[in-house]
Structures are given as structure tokens and as C-alpha cells.
Chain A
Amino acid sequence: MKLNRVRKSAGYAVIIVSSLVMILPFLTTLFNSLKTYAQYTAVPPKWFPSPIQWSNYSEVWKLGPFGQYTLNSVIVTVLSVGGALISCSMVAYAFARLRFPFKNTLFMIVLGTMMIPPVVLIIPQFVIFKSLHMLDTLTPLWIIEWLAQPFGIFLMRQAFLMIPKDYEESAKLDGCNPFQIYWKIFLPMCKPTFATLAVFTFMTKWNEILSPAIFLTSKENFTLPIGILSMAGQWSGNEQYMVAAALMSLIPILLVFLFAEKYFVQGTNSSGIK
């Protein structure tokens, strides 16, 4: 009994210490965002800002159209997440359930494209979007996600493969066509995987730097990461504002995580047939 309690408190101690370690970089960032430049660069480093520079946060809004950047990022991510969920799940359903020639070879090719580094793709993409007159618009940033990215296909296919054939067969008996099976049976059963793909796409798109930097040219079209980077400039000396801006750009990610968390939890209890 006593031993058990000791073990338990030791467990808690480990958890507390490790979460403190985990939160430390975050706290450092938070404190750095509240310093003046002199405090920010002080040696030896000063842990806590004094006086606290709350104005750094309002200063960020003066350095550029921060609201516009945020709006652009929201548009790109929302449309991307929608696109990824719809296109990846449809393609994955085909690979998981439909019968057609060269299915496995095609799937291998799809997976193979994951090995091509994005930098190699950027020039052809640039040329394509240029000839479609889509440069310097937000379109290239989200439309790509509507073309079913390989990682999403792989993830969704795995989830669909777990669903027993019986569901499909009984739906067929009830008169469902393949699209109805996909829409009414498979989608509702794979919510947790959807949440995973949504969060994954959200994070990638929210933090993406390469494509927006290459495709966008006017300031009013910048997304958050590019907007924040362009606040620094070549000679800067204002890093504390960047840190504050970066922290603010984290808020939506935190919100999405909080919202999607219950689906993750659900995912662990409801796999298989109930």
C-alpha cells in the first residue's frame, strides 16, 4: 500500500519535472516577447523581462498589415484543409475498395511521389501557375491541396482498409452505390483519421514558407509566416517584435488542437466493430 503511494508520487514528480522542461522553451519565448531590445540581447541573459513591455504586441500591428496576413493565412488553411479532406478521402476510398486495372502500381507511384523534395517541384509549379495567371494570388497555395496529396491518401486508405467488408456488403444490399457507401458509411466511421489529417494539413499550411514566398509578391497577399519574416528585414535589431508576432500566430494552432482533441480521444476507443 505504502509502496504504491511512493511509486505514484514518484510518477507524478517525473511528470511534473518533464512538463516543466517541456514548457521552458515556451516560457522563454513568452518572456522574450515582452522585453526591450536591450533586455532581449543582454549578456548574461535576463530570464524575466522588467519592465514588462506589453507594447511589443501592439507594436507588431503597426509594423505591417498583421490582420491582413492573418486573414490570408486563414483563407489558405481553411480551403486547404477542406480540399485535403475531400480529395484525399475520395482517392483513398478508390484505392482501398474499388477494383480497377493497375491499382497497386498506381498506388506505388502515388507513394513514390512523396520522395520528391518540394524544392525540385517549385520551378515547374511556378511555370504552371504563371501560365494560369495565378501568381500573386492565394489560389496556388490552397488549390494544390485539392489535388489529393500522397500522404493524405496513404493515411485515409489505411483507415478505410480497417473497416470490415460486411458494412459495405450490407449497404449494397440496401441499395447504396459506391459514392453513397463512401459518403454515408466510411466517412462517419473515420472521423479520428479525418481530424488527424485536418490538423496535419492545418499545421503545414499555417507554417508554410517556401511556396508563399515564391508565389506571392504583393504585401497585401502575404501569409503570416512571410509577413512576420518581412518585418525583420536585412538589418533588423527588433527581434522582440518578431517573437511577439510569432507567438500571436500560434493562437489559432492552439485553438485547433483544443477543438480536435476530443476526436483524438474518441479515436482510441472506437476502432473496430462496436
Chain B
Amino acid sequence: MTLLAALLISGCSSQGKGSGEVELKLGFYSSAQSDEKMQELITKFQEKHPNIKIKTESSPYNQFFQKLDTQIAAESAPDIWLSDGVLVPKYAERGVLKDLTEWIQRDLKSEEYYGLDFNKDASGKYWGVPQGIQIAVLYYNKDMFDEAQVDYPIEDWTWDDLKAAAEKLTKDSNGKYAVDSSFDKNKISQYGLTFFSITEGWMTVLKSYGGGVLNDTLDQSIIHSPENKAALDWIVDGMQRELFPTPSDLKSFQSNMALFPSKAAAMRIGIYARTIDANNAGLNYDVSLLPMGPDGIRFSPVIANSWVINKKADGAVADAAWEWVKFWATEDEVQKEWASLGEAVPVKKSVANSEQFLNGSPANKQAFLDSFEFAGTLDVNAVWSEWVGKFNDNINRAFEGEIPVDQAMIQADQEVQKVLDEFYKK
């Protein structure tokens, strides 16, 4: 009986296609703010391509990727989906994605875009087309700088200049700044800089000191180096003096992200999307380029959230998927509409450099665009989440002052290498 019913249902659903109509399953992680815009763009796309019918599959951000793994295992992943930039190699190297190299070279002029290359792997293949870009700059709260009578950050700051300013901006609950002799570092009411995780914390410092985590081919750890040692010493010193919160200090806040919008920190390393909560909280703030390392090297981490196409999509479905990517990447109107949400820097240079993007708060949005000069990915590879976990476990112990920096580097180096070997040496 059940079998019969199943047969009947499957019989029905396979009819009704034909007449050149294509159904495209489109997956994206949803939010109340962006869903409406996404729906508008889908409607516009369908008007232009009446033969393509889009069926959306959305979930909240965290559940989206959990579901995607299930769908991939059950061979029913969407034909095209929006992938967090740091996860593109994970899917690419496990053979789930379509190689987009030929299409990109045929239809997109790379000089017109920011960040097409952020999805290129070591062998030069492209696996996705950015939907919007996150790039980090230095955020600073003008009111706090004014109150402490400190000059606003300038573009040729080094990390040491930043620390000197942080010292004048870190305040205890008696209103004394860290430069005062009576400053009590056990009762901080305001941090000079909030500092956490890979993106908005250590990666920028490591790279601008000439260090980093992985080699160029992304399969060897290069953690144990004098450059990284110098960078980590700089961080640990700042944390031990409570100029920036340690990972355990951060636990007392509702989230790691809360310190800057809630005026508990005067500066932060922040990606573009952080302008949303800073603006929501009504801060008087601006942004500047991230500081340089001791040898003048700069680094700004980038995450290019991208459209990727399922390897299983072929023929008309694959063409329809590519039409969607092209619609998204090439049409100024689409780029402008999406940019109006304020979630990401537009991929297309002409739109990113237009008044529409550059106007508004913060005043110096140009800093985001200028940062592309020295931007790079977070050493993303197929096992990114895993190695970041191992790195954090060890380095956080050094940040807390539990173990010396050298020991943390040696352990992190070994554990990260083990993760890499398990995937790449099979």
C-alpha cells in the first residue's frame, strides 16, 4: 500500500516538465533583513529569464551548512548555493563543486571585479563567484578618542602605535587610564582594542609581521617562526596588560562582537558587516586602514562569500545556474540593490566606487576599498575549520598566560600539521 502510494506520488511529480522550462534549486542562508531583497532579485531574474523557475531553499546561517552536509550526503544539494567564503575550498576539494574556470574566463572580465581570485585554488581553478566581500579595517570610536584626548588613527600607524594609543584609551572603573600609575588592570571598564578570533584578531597581526599559518600551497604549517613569535609576543603583552581582552575576558560579554557597539572598546579590527551593528548602536565612529607590521607590511583579511554551482548540475540546469551568477555579478542594478543592505562590499568595482556605496556611515568607506591593495584570504583550505580550532586551542592558552608563547607555537604547529596531513596525505 505504502509502496503503491510512493509510486503514485513519484509518478506525478516527474510530469509537467518539458517545454524548455528549467527548475533551479537555489540555496542561501537567510535573514529577515536580506530575504526580502533576495526575493525581489529573484523576481527580477525570472522576468528576464521566463524559462527558468527558481525554487529557494533557505535556513538560518548555522543550520544552513549543517543541512548542506546532509543534503550532499543524500545527493540532494541545491543546484547552486551561497557559500561562506571560508567554506568554498571544503566543498571544492571534496569534489562537490563545478569548476567555473572556463565560464569565468569567457564571461567575466576579472579587472572589473574585486576578489574573483579569492576563490582560486593553488592550481589556478575558480570554484565560485563572490556574492559580496568582507574585508577588514580598523574601527575607532571618535567619542572615546576625544574624551581621552588621543589623536585619531592615521594610515601609517604600526601595531606599536596602535598599542600606544590603546594604552591611553584603556580605562578602569575608577576612570583611570592605563598610562596612569594608579590604574587597576583588574577592573577594566573600557578596553583600548577588542581582539578576538582569526578574522578580527590574530591573523592580521601574524601576516603583517611577515608570519602566517600555512605555506603557499596551504598544506604545510609555518606556525613556528620568529616572525610569528614577534607577532604573538605583541598580542600577549597587550592582553596581559589588559589593553585588549583575553578570550576569557570576552566570555563576560553577550558575544565577542558586542564590545565595540556597546562602547566597551575604543577600537576593533572589523570586517565590513560590522558597520551594521555600529550604525544600529548609533556610535560616533570611523574607520581607517589596519596598521602595518614593523617592516611596513600590511595585511587585511578577506572573506568572499560566493555563489557556487553543484557539480551534479548539468545541461540546462547548469546553464541556468550560470545565468543567475552572471545576473548577480554583471548587472549594476543587482549589485546596487544588494549593497543597499550594508552587509558586504559590492563585488563589481564600478558599483563599489560609486557614490551610492561610498556615502553614508562610516565616513571613510574608501578605507575598505583601499584595503584590497594588501588583502588576502585566511589561508582557507579544505580543512579550514578544523585547523583553526586546533590553532585557537593552543594559542588561547598563551593569550591567557597559561603557557609561554614558544610552547603554544610548537603545539599548535604539530596539531595543525596533523590535521593537514590527515586530509592531504591520503
A interface residue numbers (CB < 8 A to B) = 37-38, 41-44, 63-64, 122-123, 126-127, 130-133, 135-136, 209-210, 213-214, 216-219, 226, 229-239
Contact call B31/A235, Cβ cutoff below 8 A: yes
A44 CA / B171 CA spacing, docked (Å): 13
Closest A residue to B265 by beta carbon equals A43
Given known pairs A38-B282, A63-B32, the reply for A126 and B276 (CB within 8 Å) is no
A44 CA / B277 CA spacing, docked (Å): 18
Contact call B32/A218, Cβ cutoff below 8 A: no
- In the bound complex, residues from chain A placing their C-beta under 8 Å from that of B60 are 213, 226, 229-230, 232-233
Contact call A122/B30, Cβ cutoff below 8 A: no
Chain B residues numbered 167-224 whose CB sits less than 8 Å from any CB in chain A: 189
Contact call B70/A231, Cβ cutoff below 8 A: no
Does B10 have its Cβ within 8 Å of any Cβ on chain A?
yes
Contact call A41/B61, Cβ cutoff below 8 A: no
Distance in Å: Cβ of B87 to nearest Cβ of chain A? 13
User: Interface residue count for B (Cβ, 8 Å)?
Assistant: 44
Question: Would you mind naming 28 contact pairs between A and B with Cβ atoms under 8 Å apart?
Answer: A41-B258, A41-B277, A43-B262, A63-B32, A126-B74, A130-B74, A130-B76, A132-B9, A133-B10, A135-B76, A209-B63, A210-B66, A213-B59, A216-B59, A217-B57, A217-B58, A230-B32, A232-B61, A233-B29, A233-B32, A233-B60, A234-B273, A235-B273, A235-B274, A236-B31, A237-B261, A238-B33, A239-B254
Interface residues as binary, B326-342 with A (CB distance below 8 Å gives 1, 0 otherwise): 00000000000000000
Distance in Å: Cβ of A220 to nearest Cβ of chain B? 11
Contact call B276/A235, Cβ cutoff below 8 A: yes
A39 CA / B34 CA spacing, docked (Å): 24
A239 CA / B70 CA spacing, docked (Å): 29
Contact call B264/A43, Cβ cutoff below 8 A: yes
B interface residue numbers (CB < 8 A to A) = 6, 9-10, 13, 27, 29-35, 56-63, 66-67, 70-71, 73-74, 76, 189, 253-254, 258-259, 261-264, 273-274, 276-277, 280-282, 343
Given known pairs A230-B32, A233-B30, the reply for A214 and B254 (CB within 8 Å) is no
- In the bound complex, residues from chain A placing their C-beta under 8 Å from that of B61 are 232-234
Contact call B74/A234, Cβ cutoff below 8 A: no
A262 CA / B167 CA spacing, docked (Å): 62
Closest A residue to B25 by beta carbon equals A217
- In the bound complex, residues from chain B placing their C-beta under 8 Å from that of A210 are 63, 66
- In the bound complex, residues from chain A placing their C-beta under 8 Å from that of B281 are 37-38, 41, 237
- In the bound complex, residues from chain B placing their C-beta under 8 Å from that of A41 are 254, 258, 261-262, 277, 281
A43 CA / B191 CA spacing, docked (Å): 12
